[in-house]
C-alpha cells in the first residue's frame, strides 16, 4: 500500500460509515457498564481472554480494493458466535471452521443502509441478517470485491435476538461483551501510521476517537491491550491481527461505534466453560 495515495487508501481499504437512523430500527440494548478494570473478578470476568485459542476465529482475509471493512467485520463476528454455539452443542470441528459470505452482505443489505464498497455499518449489516434469518457461506456466495445484484439462496440459519451496542468510550463494557458473548465489531481511526503496523502493542498519539474510518473485530484482551482482527490478510500486522494499547480509554476510537449480535440460542461463556478446550 506504500505506493497508494492517502485518498485511495481511505476509499479502498476502509469503509466505516455511521449507521443511518431509521424509524424501523430495532431497539438496541445497552449492557450494564463495568465500573473499572478492577471489577473483573467481581463479575467473573478473567483478566485475559483470547477466542483464537478455542478455534472460533477465522484467519484474516484481504478485502482488497473495496471499502467494505464493515462486511468483513460483521461476517467474522457472526462466524465466531455461531461456532461458539457449535462448541456448546458438541458439534464443532476446529478443522472445518465456518466461513460466511461478505459478498452476501455487500449485495443484499443496501436497503438497511449499507453502501457496498463505499462503506457501511456493522449495525446495519446485523439488522439485515436479523431480518433475513440466514446468511450464505463464503463458498456459496464467494467474495468478488465488486457490488452485484443480490442472488442470495438459502444459507446458514442465523437467528439474531437483538443487536447490542457498546456504550461509547466504555472499554470495560467491551471487555465484558468479548468474554460473555464473543468477538465484537470495533471502530477505529486507521490513520497513516496504522498502515505500517507490523508487530507490537499499537500506541498512536495522533489518532482521534472522533475520526474513525475503519471496522475491525476485537477477539480478545489483556489488561494491556485488545486483540483485534483486521481484514487486510495475514501478511499485515501479526498474522492479520493487531494489539491495540489500553493505555487510555477509547484509544483510537476502539469503543466509539461497537456492535455485536446476540443469537437466539446464545449461551453465556460462564455457562459453557466446561465445554471450552484450548485448541491452539
Hey, which residues are catalytic here?
69, 214, 230
Q: Which residue from 72, 81, 259 is spatially nearest to 181, judged by alpha carbons?
A: 81
Please provide the DSSP assignment of 175-211 as one string: HHHHHHT--EEEEE---HHHHT--SSEE--TT--TTS
CB 175 within 8 A of CB 221: yes
What is the spatial distance between Cα 27 and Cα 179, in angstroms, rounded to a whole number?
23
Per-residue CA distances from 140 to 76, 104, 123, 151 (Å) = 16, 9, 24, 10
Residue carrying the nine cell digits 455487500: 106
What is the spatial distance between Cα 31 and Cα 81, in angstroms, rounded to a whole number?
18
Burial 93-125 (b: 16+ CB within 10 A, else e): eeeebbbbbbbbbbbbbbebbbbbbebbbbbbb
Burial 6-24 (b: 16+ CB within 10 A, else e): eeebbbbbbbbbebeeeee
Beta bridge partners of 229: 217, 241
CB 144 within 8 A of CB 62: no
Residue carrying the nine cell digits 480509554: 249
Amino acid at each position: 500500500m506504500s505506493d497508494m495515495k492517502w485518498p485511495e487508501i481511505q476509499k479502498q481499504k476502509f469503509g466505516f460509515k455511521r449507521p443511518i437512523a431509521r424509524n424501523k430500527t430495532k431497539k438496541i440494548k445497552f449492557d450494564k457498564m463495568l465500573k473499572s478494570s478492577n471489577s473483573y473478578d467481581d463479575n467473573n470476568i478473567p483478566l485475559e481472554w483470547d477466542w483464537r485459542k478455542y478455534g472460533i476465529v477465522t484467519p484474516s482475509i484481504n478485502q482488497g480494493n473495496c471499502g467494505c471493512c464493515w462486511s468483513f467485520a460483521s461476517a467474522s463476528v457472526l462466524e465466531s458466535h455461531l461456532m461458539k454455539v457449535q462448541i456448546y452443542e458438541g458439534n464443532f470441528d476446529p478443522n472445518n471452521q465456518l466461513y460466511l459470505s461478505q459478498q452476501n452482505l455487500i449485495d443484499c443489505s443496501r436497503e438497511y443502509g449499507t453502501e457496498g464498497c463505499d462503506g457501511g455499518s456493522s449495525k446495519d449489516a446485523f439488522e439485515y441478517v436479523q431480518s433475513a434469518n440466514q446468511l450464505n457461506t463464503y463458498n456459496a456466495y464467494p467474495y468478488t470485491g465488486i457490488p452485484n445484484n443480490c442472488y442470495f439462496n438459502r444459507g446458514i440459519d442465523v437467528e439474531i435476538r437483538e443487536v447490542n451496542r457498546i456504550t461509547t468510550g466504555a472499554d470495560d463494557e467491551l471487555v465484558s461483551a468479548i468474554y460473555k458473548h464473543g468477538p465484537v465489531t470495533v471502530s477505529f481511526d486507521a490513520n497513516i501510521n496504522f498502515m505500517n503496523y507490523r508487530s507490537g502493542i499499537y500506541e498512536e498519539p495522533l489518532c482521534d476517537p472522533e475520526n474513525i474510518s475503519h471496522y475491525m473485530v476485537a477477539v480478545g484482551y489483556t489488561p494491556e491491550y485488545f486483540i483485534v482482527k483486521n481484514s487486510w490478510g495475514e501478511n499485515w500486522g501479526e498474522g492479520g491481527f493487531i494489539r491495540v494499547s489500553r493505555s487510555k480509554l477509547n484509544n483510537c476510537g476502539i469503543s466509539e461505534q461497537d456492535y455485536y449480535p446476540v443469537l437466539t440460542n446464545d449461551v453465556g461463556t460462564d455457562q459453557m466453560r466446561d465445554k471450552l478446550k484450548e485448541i491452539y
